[in-house]
Every structure is written in structure tokens, then in C-alpha cells.
Structure 1
Amino acid sequence: MGIIGDGLDRAVQGAFTRPIPKSAGAQMRYLVKQLKGTRAVAGLLGVSQRTVERYVKDQIRRPRADLAQRLEDAVRQRWQPRVRDRARKQAAASTGLVIHTRARFGFTAAPGTTDDARIRHLTLALPPHHAARLLDAQDAGASEQQLRGLAAEALGEVYFRDGGRRAGGLEVEFTDVEQAEFDL
């Protein structure tokens, strides 16, 4: 996806109550159960149906590195959907999100002022309504650019405009994102 989307995914995965299955066979069995068949899993992973069956029966134990990564990502996307949903709803309703980011922030200002765009490292708590907007947009399939825009709006309100107490009408630029991590 992108830096913001991946950061949101990692934050939600932090709420998991159990680790994902470790072995390739256990991961394949989980996917077969979730997708209701070996053909669907084979299509998802880009391997033959017979290969999936061999992993399920533990006839093959160690997948190639690229297949191992695709397998782990597919399992991680589907792991504990109710826990994932509960964590997202709680963040959107009451707790909000904490964002740790290092990016270029700024806005149009007179040359030489401290408001010029520069790399800043920020750790801020975003209120629940901003968390809800980010998570809902991600669920709706928003692009990385759209998620980045929503994050910029949230950071602009919380950090630069201080919840409406200063710098009203300020348009925040959020570019050159080096890091973006979220916590629930």
C-alpha cells in the first residue's frame, strides 16, 4: 500500500491477541479454511493447487522466500478479524490514534520564518474523529495520497492550529514522509 496505509495496518495488528501461525503448513491450512478451498489459495498466492495441497499435508515444509512472504502477508491480512474490527471501532469511538512521524511539514509563509517547510519529528495524539476518518478511508480503499491528505489535515488541526485556537485557515503541507507509525 504505502507508508500511511501500512502504518495503520501495523497499528491494528498490534491489537492481536494471538500470534499468526508460524509454519508454512499451518498458514496454508488457515488460508484454505478461510478461503474455503485450495484452488482459491493457489490463485491468491500464484502457485498450483497441488502445491497448496502438499503444504497442507506437510509434504513441503519450507517455501521459497518470495512465497513465504506472500503467504505470511495473506495470513496477516485475514488474522483475527473480530479483534481487528474491535480495535478499529475503539480507536474511532473513544481512544483515537497516536502518530509518530518524521516528514516535511510547513505552509506558505514569509521567507525566513519558522513556518517554512522543514523536516519535523512529531508524536501526537489524534482525537477519535480524525482516527475514524483515517480508518474509514482506508477501509473504503483510499489511495496513499488521500490517506496522506487526511493525516495532514489531522496534524494541521492538532499541531499547527492547536484545535482552532491559533493560525485559523492554515493549509498544512505534509510531504517527504520518511516514517509514519501509529499506535492505538
Structure 2
Amino acid sequence: MGMLGDGLDKATEKTFTRPVPRSAQAQMRFLVKQEKGTRAVAALLGVSQRTVERYLAGRLKRPRKDLAARLENEVRRRWQPRVRERARQRAATTGGIVIETRARFGFTAAPGSTDDARLRLVTQALPPDYAARLFAAQSAGAGEDRLRAIAAEGLQEIYFQDRGRRAQGLRVDFTDIDYVEFEF
């Protein structure tokens, strides 16, 4: 996906109540149960059905690096969907979301104010409506630009304009993201 989409996924993974299966055999077993068959898992991972069966039987234990990465990624995407959904729902209705980022922020504001973009480290709690908008955009398949625009709007309103108490008419540009982390 992108930096913001991956950040939302990692924040969701922090809400898991049980650890993700570690061994290749346990991961394959989980995927076969989820996908209801070895043929579907083989197509998903890009390997033969026989290879999936060997991992299930324990004859193969250590997948190649590329297969191990695909296997872990697919298991993480499907792990504890109800826990994941509950955490997102809680963040979108009552809890909100905390964003920590180091990025370049530039401004469009009234004449006489500085609008030079500079690198800032910002940690800010955003209200639930911004969390809901981020999750809705992500689940609708929105691109990185749309997620960035929603996050910029939230930071603009809450951090830079202090909920409308200062800097009316300020528009924030959120670019050159060094890193971004979310927490619910």
C-alpha cells in the first residue's frame, strides 16, 4: 500500500490478543482453514498444491525468503478479523487515533506570515471522526494521497489551528513524510 496505509495496518496489529502463528506449518494450517483448501492457498502464495501439503505434513519446515514473506503477510492480513474490526470501530466512535510523524509541513496563510516548509516532529491525538474517515478511505481502496489529505486536514484543524482558536484560513501541506505511526 503506502506509508500511511501500512501505518494503519501496523497499529491494528498492535491490538491482537493472541500472537500470530510463527512456524511455517502453523501458518499454512491457518491459511488452509481460512481459504478452505490447499489449492486456494497454493494459488494465493504462488506455489504448487503439493508444496502446501508438504508444509502441512511437516516435511518442509523453512520456506525461502520470498515465500516466507508472502506467507507471513497473508497470515497477518487475515489474523483475528473480529478483534481488528472492534479496535477500528472503537477508534472511529469513541477513542480516536494518535498520529506521530516526522514530515515536512508547509503553509498557505495570510500575507506577512511565514509559509516556509520545514521538517517537524508532531504527535497529536485526532478525534474519532478523522479515524473513521481514515478507515473508510482505506477500506474503500483510496490511495496514499487521499489518506495523506485526511491526515493533513486533521493535523491542520487540531494541531495547527487548535480547533479554530487560532490561524484561521491556514492551509497545511503535509509532504516528505520521513515516518508515520498510528495508535488507537
**1:21 aligned residue:** 21
In 2: Cα distance, 1:109 partner to 1:87 partner: 37
In 1: Cα distance, 2:75 partner to 2:50 partner: 19
* Residue ranges of structure 2 left out of the alignment (5+ in a row): none
User: Secondary structure at the residue paired with 1:101?
Assistant: strand
**1:87 aligned residue:** 87
- Please report how far the alpha carbon of residue 170 of structure 1 lies from its aligned counterpart in structure 2 after TM superposition: 2.1
User: Secondary structure at the residue paired with 1:156?
Assistant: helix
**2:124 aligned residue:** 124
In 1: Cα distance, 2:12 partner to 2:112 partner: 40
* Deviation larger for 100-109 or 79-88: 100-109
1:97-108 correspondence to structure 2 within 5 Å: 97-108=97-108
TM-score, length-scaled by structure 2: 0.96
TM-score, length-scaled by structure 1: 0.96
**2:141 aligned residue:** 141
In 2: Cα distance, 1:115 partner to 1:58 partner: 61
**Per-residue CA distance 1:132-160 (angstroms, 9 max, x = gap):** 10011111111111111111111111111
User: Secondary structure at the residue paired with 1:163?
Assistant: coil
**1:49 aligned residue:** 49
Sequence identity, in percent? 67
- Please report how far the alpha carbon of residue 109 of structure 1 lies from its aligned counterpart in structure 2 after TM superposition: 4.7
Q: Is the Cα–Cα contact under 8 Å of residues 109 and 169 in structure 2 kept in the other structure?
A: no
User: Secondary structure at the residue paired with 2:108?
Assistant: coil
User: Secondary structure at the residue paired with 2:71?
Assistant: helix
**1:35 aligned residue:** 35
In 2: Cα distance, 1:130 partner to 1:71 partner: 32
* Residue ranges of structure 1 left out of the alignment (5+ in a row): none
**1:75 aligned residue:** 75
- Please report how far the alpha carbon of residue 41 of structure 1 lies from its aligned counterpart in structure 2 after TM superposition: 0.8
Two-structure CA RMSD over aligned residues (Å): 1.4
User: Secondary structure at the residue paired with 2:176?
Assistant: strand
**1:64 aligned residue:** 64
Q: Is the Cα–Cα contact under 8 Å of residues 109 and 116 in structure 1 kept in the other structure?
A: no
Number of aligned residue pairs = 184
